[in-house]
A and B are shown apart, each in its own frame.
Chain A
Amino acid sequence: MIEGALWRKWVFYNIPLILFVFVLLFPFYWMIITTFRPDGELYRPWNAVNYMPFWTNNPTLEHIKYLFEETNFGRWMMNTMFIATISTLISLFCGVLAGYALARLNFPYAGSLGTVIFVTYLVPQTLLFIPLAQIIRNFELGDTPWSLILTYPTFLIPFCTWLMMGYFKAIPKELEECARIDGASRWKAMVYIIIPVAVPGILSSGIIAFTLSWNEFIYALVFLSSPDQKTVPVGVTSELIRGDVFFWGPLMAGALLGSIPVAIVYSFFVEHYVSGLTGSVKG
């Protein structure tokens, strides 16, 4: 906290904080207000007498109705949920095992292998989607959810592995040694002791992996083409921007509804999430 006179506290703490909160929350506010604003107000010129950009007196559900009746939005939500869940589970499974191995097993080049895995995470998707498109075509997976379920782990597994490696390293080695003296094999010690202790770390990487795959755009845009296979980010932008016409109301309604599952996941695990990121294992 800032010590001293009241004005210092306002200038150096409260006002910057208010600005940050405003900057961060305004897009959400804009998204919400646009969702519920009728078209007549949305396309009113800025110099009209009754121009009122930050509020509406006639809230409407017509955009949400449009989204569900005129587009495949419900289907997109199901697609996204399915793809994000499965690819997160695959990545977590691999990431936990690989992270454990890199953190705990002594094998040659474990350190450099960890670095290499991290470097693969740094390869941009804009570069990777071209060779991946080849692979997807060769396996004839184009335009199926599996094209994404199998490609998302290319960036999710390195991410989960790296995060879990750090978390496993923070768990005292003695816990596992004690379990092994107590009669557990390495595998049992991992299953009964290390993984339960690492649950906060697993949840955090799961949440982030889920969010990353929920929001993913490029692969979904490239690998999926038919409207009923699309994910929310791609579906909303490709179906609701026609040429140079932006259907702002349904677009924002789609963005709003699309962010709700992620918000629910976050709020559900927020306590574990925080302790996972700060990495505290207290005996």
Chain B
Amino acid sequence: MAEVTLSKLNKFFDTTHVVKDVDLQIRDKEFMVFVGPSGCGKTTTLRMIAGLEAVSSGDIRIEDNLVNEVPPMDRDIAMVFQNYALYPHMSVASNMAFGLKMRKFPRDQIEERIKRAATILGIENLLARKPRQLSGGQRQRVALGRAIVRDPKVFLFDEPLSNLDAKLRVQMRVELKKLHERLAVTSIYVTHDQVEAMTLGDRVVVMKDGWVQQVGEPLELYNQPANRFVAGFIGSPAMNFAEVTLADQGGKVVAEAQGLRIVLPDELAARARTKMNGAGTPATLGIRPEDLHVAGAADSADHCFDVNVEVVEQLGSEILLDSRVGSALMVASIDPAVKVRAHDKLRLALKPERLHLFDPQTEMAY
């Protein structure tokens, strides 16, 4: 049982406050992903868990043991670094053996563990090579192998895939997922790539400016973002936002902006009503590109609007339309069969149940 618990964790570099009151419970065997833009404090948090950075205030517990003052070597963790950090003067086998030698494992056990890890990762034929004789993907595997042989309580990953090319990254992502299923060890993974976060994580922590924005399962973040930042960060292409005013018209709540008039569905309307004070309450409307389509006969006029198409990006499996409604920019992902060209006028419809509303001041979701 290796739970990792962070409570009221803070980190200051001199006077800069980089990690702010992080409270988090990482469950046993869970794959937890920290995601956020660069400088959001995710890597610093990971390094504090590893013991490479001192904790300014708050507690870190691994398996109920307070580890704030425990040196990295005694925390029983393994870490995979972005630049792999392979020891350049040692062969692959010695790289993997180093941690076990430091812990005074008997020689036959070291060899057995290296063999097993090398088989799992498919690097048996590389054991005698030096790191400089390996490709990027192979180095990444060796770095993983070095973590696996230790059989630690917790794996820490610091953007391990960002030095790989796009194709290899997808492949390694799948392998990481398989590896985690096979080993079932608590893992904490830091990335700035929301796709990695969505695909790998059992749960995802979204961070910004040192604050935890939301913690949840990937689909929870996608479907119920807690605030505008999470809504815009998770999902690709990013969610569209339009500044609207809310008004009560004949028992219905209507979101209006220049060229846009959307009747909110009842559930969202009920939540919006609690925030409305009189006519013309400002709000931010959010809708994902994949929840827009070209309007047809079945679409109610309550959920349609006209756009000017500015750019057409044909991706084969879909078309991304960069279009404009009044002053708002709308990206729509539509059926690739639709014939559309730049500067066309087009009527789009949205799925009303997929609408999001945010407070323009606090940016929190309604």
Whole-angstrom CA separation of A182 from B88 in the bound complex: 16
Whole-angstrom CA separation of A47 from B73 in the bound complex: 81
Interface string of B145-159 (1 = CB under 8 A from A): 010001000000000
Whole-angstrom CA separation of A21 from B168 in the bound complex: 50
In the assembled complex, which residues on chain B have CB atoms less than 8 Å from the CB atom of A185? 71, 73
Contact segment of A36-44, A169-177, A207-215, A262-270: A169-177
In the assembled complex, which residues on chain A have CB atoms less than 8 Å from the CB atom of B83? 172, 174, 283
Interface string of A243-283 (1 = CB under 8 A from B): 00000000000000000000000000000000000000111
In chain B, positions 67-95 with a C-beta closer than 8 Å to chain A are: 71-73, 75, 77-79, 81-89
* Cross-chain contact B102 with A184 (CB below 8 angstroms): yes
* Cross-chain contact B102 with A183 (CB below 8 angstroms): yes
Query: Closest Cβ of chain A: how far from B102's Cβ, in Å?
Result: 4
A29 lies within 8 A of chain B by Cβ: no
A174 and B85 in contact (CB under 8 A), knowing A181-B73, A283-B132?
yes
In the assembled complex, which residues on chain B have CB atoms less than 8 Å from the CB atom of A178? 79, 81, 85, 87, 146
B50 lies within 8 A of chain A by Cβ: yes
In the assembled complex, which residues on chain B have CB atoms less than 8 Å from the CB atom of A193? 87
* Cross-chain contact A181 with B72 (CB below 8 angstroms): yes
* Cross-chain contact A182 with B73 (CB below 8 angstroms): yes
A281 and B88 in contact (CB under 8 A), knowing A181-B50, A188-B102?
yes
* Cross-chain contact A197 with B99 (CB below 8 angstroms): no
The one of B73, B86, B150 in contact with A180, judged by C-beta atoms closer than 8 angstroms, is: B73
Kindly report which residue of chain B lies nearest to residue A171, judged by CB atoms.
B88
Interface size on B, residues (CB 8 A): 28
B98 lies within 8 A of chain A by Cβ: yes
B288 lies within 8 A of chain A by Cβ: no
B52 lies within 8 A of chain A by Cβ: yes
The one of B78, B79, B85 in contact with A175, judged by C-beta atoms closer than 8 angstroms, is: B85
In the assembled complex, which residues on chain B have CB atoms less than 8 Å from the CB atom of A174? 81-83, 85
* Cross-chain contact A183 with B73 (CB below 8 angstroms): yes
Most chain B beta-carbon contacts within 10 A, residue among A179, A182, A281:
A182
* Cross-chain contact A182 with B146 (CB below 8 angstroms): yes
A30 lies within 8 A of chain B by Cβ: no
In the assembled complex, which residues on chain A have CB atoms less than 8 Å from the CB atom of B203? none
B139 lies within 8 A of chain A by Cβ: yes
Query: Closest Cβ of chain B: how far from A171's Cβ, in Å?
Result: 9
A111 lies within 8 A of chain B by Cβ: no
Kindly report which residue of chain B lies nearest to residue A184, judged by CB atoms.
B102
* Cross-chain contact B89 with A182 (CB below 8 angstroms): no
In the assembled complex, which residues on chain A have CB atoms less than 8 Å from the CB atom of B82? 174
In the assembled complex, which residues on chain A have CB atoms less than 8 Å from the CB atom of B131? 283
Interface string of A187-224 (1 = CB under 8 A from B): 01000110011010000000000000000000000000
Which 5 pairs across A and B sit closest by C-beta, in order of nearness?
A182-B99, A183-B102, A174-B85, A178-B85, A174-B81
Known contacts A175-B88, A178-B79, A181-B77; 15 additional CB pairs below 8 A are: A177-B79, A179-B87, A181-B50, A181-B51, A181-B72, A182-B150, A193-B87, A197-B87, A197-B88, A281-B88, A282-B132, A283-B85, A283-B131, A283-B132, A283-B139
What are 13 inter-chain pairs, A to B, with CB distance below 8 A? A172-B83, A175-B88, A177-B85, A178-B81, A179-B87, A181-B51, A181-B72, A181-B77, A182-B102, A183-B103, A185-B73, A188-B102, A282-B132
